[in-house]
Amino acid sequence: MSDPGRRAFLGTAAAALAGAAIAPGIRLVELAAARSPEEAASAKVRWGLLVDANRCASGCTACVTACRTENGLADTGRPRTDAQWIRIVDLRDPRTGREARAPVMCQHCAHPPCVDVCPTGASFKRADGIVLVDRHTCIGCRYCMMACPYKARSFVHENLADQKPDVPRGKGCVESCTLCVHRVDRGGTPACVEACAAAGHGAMLFGDLNDPESAIAKRLRELPARALRADLALDPGVRYAGV
């Protein structure tokens, strides 16, 4: 084979090989975009929440109750050590006396400090922005709890019973809101959002921040909303309006 001919042959062969190697990957990306629960999380999606404090009704704790039921968080009567994945924070402006309230949970940061500080990499962020704890590699050092600006994490302080099959937990590990990842991966919405809507308040909106046509993206264009501790530039997936 002449030299130019051999080069052309090698080029074609390389292109064909590369195509064969990449094709399944392209297929994977398509599937992930379709958010099939069997496929890995995709960076095309950025799951997020919009909390409208103006709609958060006084005295209502539907989101908190739903979270506890969904994730099997029992009330032991020891509030200082019990896990709280979501809580209502009551707010008062000391100058004007204005009052407000809003649920606070893991803010699913794009640059999560808990992930930065975790020595073993047990704290991790999925491609779709959900921040989780790998219960198999968490050593229970609690450095993530020291680092989280939102006090979003809880340490399991005692033995557990009656766990939910979808939400495995373990004494001695740190945990926090998973954005109901087990529901989201099946195409559902987080339990807190569902409960808030069922209670008729609709103060929480869940969706894909990356999709300009999603309800949450449209609402964020209309409503002045902000990130908590925006000064830290963590780009949280949870946004707040009205506070």
Which residues sit at the interface with another protein, rule CB under 8 A?
64, 78-84, 87-94, 100, 104, 113, 115-122, 137-143, 145-151, 153-159, 170-174, 228-229, 232, 243
Compare residues 26 and 91 and give the one whose CB is closer to another protein.
91
CA torsion through residues 104, 110, 114, 115, sign: positive
**By C-beta, is 113 or 190 nearer to another protein?**
113
The conformation of residue 137, written as its DSSP 8-state character, comes to T
Query: Please, what is the minimum distance in Å from the beta carbon of residue 180 to another protein?
Result: 19
C-alpha R_g of the chain: 22
3-state secondary structure of 113: helix
Q: How far apart are alpha carbons 184 and 203 in whole angstroms?
A: 19
SS3 67: helix
CB of 177 to another protein, least distance (A): 12
Q: Name which of 31 and 141 has its Cβ closer to another protein.
A: 141
Q: How far is the CB of 179 from another protein (least distance, A)?
A: 18
Alpha-carbon distance 65 to 72, whole Å? 10
Closer of 155 and 185 to another protein (Cβ):
155
Question: Sign of the CA dihedral 97, 49, 43, 70?
Answer: positive
Identify which of residues 28 and 139 has a Cβ nearer to another protein in the complex.
139
In whole angstroms, how close is the CB of 138 to another protein at the nearest point?
Answer: 7
For residue 31, report the phi and psi dihedrals to the nearest 5 degrees: -65, -40
Closest separation in Å from C-beta 212 to another protein? 29
